[in-house]
Structure 1
């Protein structure tokens, strides 16, 4: 007899954690993994939750064990594996059975699947890593709202909670959920890069050791920068490596990995003509980090990079203020990009709801996001830069951001995310920019025409057109 309300395919790290979360919240769940031994090992390790978990050895047994109409969550690698799994399920499930892709899918793939799959389909972004999947992630749903409502009682139950508010919500049609998750990950890249640059300034500029840096991050985590990423940065910096008795950070290779979602965000921003320079700088920094051998050669060629900074020239309080400013500007870019996508794809994405979902469970969760949710609730279309609370914060901190960027530049320390944030701020607050020169150049070599300031006419040409 089919008794389980939901099934899950894919018992990797995230899938296993999510399945346990579902069972712990009181839902009977059927699980299946292509490697049968993994399925049974998972079920045996479930402890007190084992009674709610039904392991199956075949896809047919898996489908048969779920109540009709079925809900099936896919936790398999993005791309072709998702399509292959959907194709295999299509031969076994009914027309009302709901398939949910909960992996890190590209929203273009999700859009395509929405249009081609005969069964009901959702694409949901799940953020929070293994810990979030097990204890409560942030969940961003995309697809028809009616399909979201079918699974919402489970998805909200397993999600993180901000007070008593579930950090799970329907974002919009088609691939909206996966797009919002990609934007989240792009912001995550930038957040991490801003922290890493502050670490570099303390280590290479101020000569601080890892333990001292840990104390700074943990202190910053008590103020406006309170967030999961600042908190764990302090914890990472405080760990001593057992093998060498040196700080663990000092033995970690300085080449950052990536799964591609930050890169997707940067690519989509270009398609949307949505400037996200802090996020793009973070993606570039990760790519550069992989070039370790080449960087070592360049150091030999041009001399050692960082020069010592007099602590009086760059107080830690100034660095904290700079990070506050950079973070606000980064989020401003991220939310502007989300609004651009909403307009482009007719998704009606709601900035207040997105900020509320991100307040807990996800990697970028922070105290600041609650203030952002409030700012967007007051005016969903207003940028964070223009919101009174955040404009006041920027006014107080942008000089610190300038100080950090200038000091870093004079001492040979790369701070691309900080610098991108400052350039964005300066560009956005300059009413009369320099693109008139670009328009003149374009007209000179291509007769592209230009608009005039004095009379507003367009399609004008310079004398070189004669």
Structure 2
């Protein structure tokens, strides 16, 4: 069998099928593999037979690929990745390349890279964002790992990725599991932005009774301004979707229980391990968990009274909501990028925040007009510790604060939950406070546990026998 195919892909579900068709559309011959014969048939039916083919036979698959083999896995994270790798190994040659394009936990990527290195096989993780449509038309791709191995895949990834003003939204990010880590934090930011968008929707609906048609107009208008983003864009579209079963608005018929696949939780957990505060991401994860308690929430709603929303004009509410969403989007990016910068130092990723912001400008779920400004901020100061410290963002944030404070207070008085927005404001107030009440916590710790404390007036570590005067 002649090995003439440039690229192999394992996992021909919707995401995998769309990605491999994208590869084929961009002039590379691609060969797919899936144990599910229906998935194989679906790819063959849709693809150009001169550019793409597929099989359920692992030998046929591996022998069809030119050397070094470039094989991408788009399969669910976890044990199945290891199972696929083991099934491939007997059929690979030294210097072949395996790419994990799924949302694998970053430590799993490090483990697999070390394991395969001993066998002479290159392995790296590469985040792919944009959903099924993005995979077909152009995703944002976040590869990391062996830099030399990436060079073999680079022409393909640059061709299939989406473009922002002509620049491909893909870049080599760093060694080891840098690609999977960046994708994980991307998803944490995504959780946060989705939660914030939904809270603003809830406020607009419960406070001034905006109809779905009005909500569509509001979000559409916002998407034409500084809030331009994929999530605001699709939110506007959601409000116009009719239900094929009842003819009503579909959004009103969807159960308020949000599921999760784990990447947001991983972001939150790892931030705690690193000691980096990401409370708005944390709250977004917690709200999905609270949403799962539907039966308990219904019961609790019957036990407690709730205030009637305070009177406010539509114009005022819409104006404040726009400023609050803009502010909280900035905070979401600030927290996620802060975590990336610290992880880069901790894990030796050598991440460039400006490059990350650039490849997020198009193709991915968190793409937004704001990212061009964020890229500029980190280009101007590559070692910027936090986006809130960028002179370019001080004015953007400062101008929104009166509206944000007003809206959070309004929501609290009206009994409308906005935990994401409230956490974003509290994070900002804490991060920008030169004095916090943690001196009292240190005193408490020393009082009950002799944990010692530091002083503001002299160097050293101190302990007091509390109560002794």
TM range (shorter): over 0.9
- After TM superposition, give the deviation of residue 465 of structure 1 in Å: 7.8
Residues 361-406 of structure 1, C-alpha deviations (whole Å, 9 max, x = no match): 0001010001100110000222211112211111100121111111
- After TM superposition, give the deviation of residue 308 of structure 1 in Å: 5.2
- The residue number in structure 2 matching 1:78 is 77
Q: 1:137 and 1:312, CA in 2 relative to 1: closer, same or farther beyond 3 A?
A: closer
Matches for 1:48-197 after TM superposition, within 5 Å: 49-117=48-116, 118=119, 119-197=121-199
For the residue of structure 2 that corresponds to 1:66, the secondary structure is coil
Verify: 1:453 aligned to 2:453, yes or no: no
- The residue number in structure 2 matching 1:241 is 243
Q: 1:167 and 1:312, CA in 2 relative to 1: closer, same or farther beyond 3 A?
A: closer
- After TM superposition, give the deviation of residue 304 of structure 1 in Å: 4.8
Residues 213-241 of structure 1, C-alpha deviations (whole Å, 9 max, x = no match): 11110011111100010011011012232
- After TM superposition, give the deviation of residue 306 of structure 1 in Å: 6.0
- After TM superposition, give the deviation of residue 314 of structure 1 in Å: 4.6
CA distance in 1, matches of 2:268, 2:311: 33
**Contact 1:73–1:100 (CA under 8 A) maintained in structure 2:** yes
Verify: 1:423 aligned to 2:422, yes or no: no
**Contact 1:314–1:404 (CA under 8 A) maintained in structure 2:** no
- After TM superposition, give the deviation of residue 42 of structure 1 in Å: 1.7
Q: Which runs of 5+ in 1 are unaligned?
A: none
Q: Which runs of 5+ in 2 are unaligned?
A: none
Q: 1:312 and 1:132, CA in 2 relative to 1: closer, same or farther beyond 3 A?
A: closer
Q: 1:50 and 1:179, CA in 2 relative to 1: closer, same or farther beyond 3 A?
A: same
Q: TM-score, normalised by structure 1?
A: 0.97
**Contact 1:127–1:363 (CA under 8 A) maintained in structure 2:** yes
Verify: 1:438 aligned to 2:437, yes or no: no
CA distance in 2, matches of 1:192, 1:314: 23
**How many aligned residue pairs are there?**
464
For the residue of structure 1 that corresponds to 2:173, the secondary structure is strand
- After TM superposition, give the deviation of residue 114 of structure 1 in Å: 1.1
Match of 2:402 among 399, 410, 420: 399
Residues 176-209 of structure 1, C-alpha deviations (whole Å, 9 max, x = no match): 1001001000100111111100100011121111
- After TM superposition, give the deviation of residue 460 of structure 1 in Å: 3.5
Q: 1:444 and 1:465, CA in 2 relative to 1: closer, same or farther beyond 3 A?
A: farther
Q: 1:16 and 1:380, CA in 2 relative to 1: closer, same or farther beyond 3 A?
A: same
Verify: 1:227 aligned to 2:207, yes or no: no
**Contact 1:204–1:308 (CA under 8 A) maintained in structure 2:** no
Q: 1:362 and 1:312, CA in 2 relative to 1: closer, same or farther beyond 3 A?
A: closer
Q: TM-score, normalised by structure 2?
A: 0.96
CA distance in 2, matches of 1:187, 1:287: 17
CA distance in 2, matches of 1:436, 1:164: 52
- After TM superposition, give the deviation of residue 330 of structure 1 in Å: 1.3
For the residue of structure 2 that corresponds to 1:54, the secondary structure is strand
- RMSD (Å) for aligned C-alpha atoms: 1.4
Runs of 4+ off more than 6 Å: none
Verify: 1:24 aligned to 2:28, yes or no: no
CA distance in 2, matches of 1:263, 1:273: 15
- The residue number in structure 2 matching 1:41 is 42
For the residue of structure 2 that corresponds to 1:122, the secondary structure is strand
**Contact 1:206–1:308 (CA under 8 A) maintained in structure 2:** no
**Contact 2:310–2:410 (CA under 8 A) maintained in structure 1:** no
CA distance in 2, matches of 1:296, 1:213: 26
CA distance in 2, matches of 1:287, 1:206: 28
**Contact 1:447–1:465 (CA under 8 A) maintained in structure 2:** no
**Contact 2:257–2:291 (CA under 8 A) maintained in structure 1:** yes
**Contact 2:208–2:314 (CA under 8 A) maintained in structure 1:** no
For the residue of structure 2 that corresponds to 1:171, the secondary structure is coil
CA distance in 1, matches of 2:243, 2:55: 41
- The residue number in structure 1 matching 2:366 is 364
**Contact 2:31–2:52 (CA under 8 A) maintained in structure 1:** yes
Higher mean displacement: 223-232 or 299-308 = 299-308
CA distance in 2, matches of 1:10, 1:364: 25
Q: 1:257 and 1:96, CA in 2 relative to 1: closer, same or farther beyond 3 A?
A: same
- The residue number in structure 2 matching 1:256 is 258
**Contact 1:207–1:308 (CA under 8 A) maintained in structure 2:** no
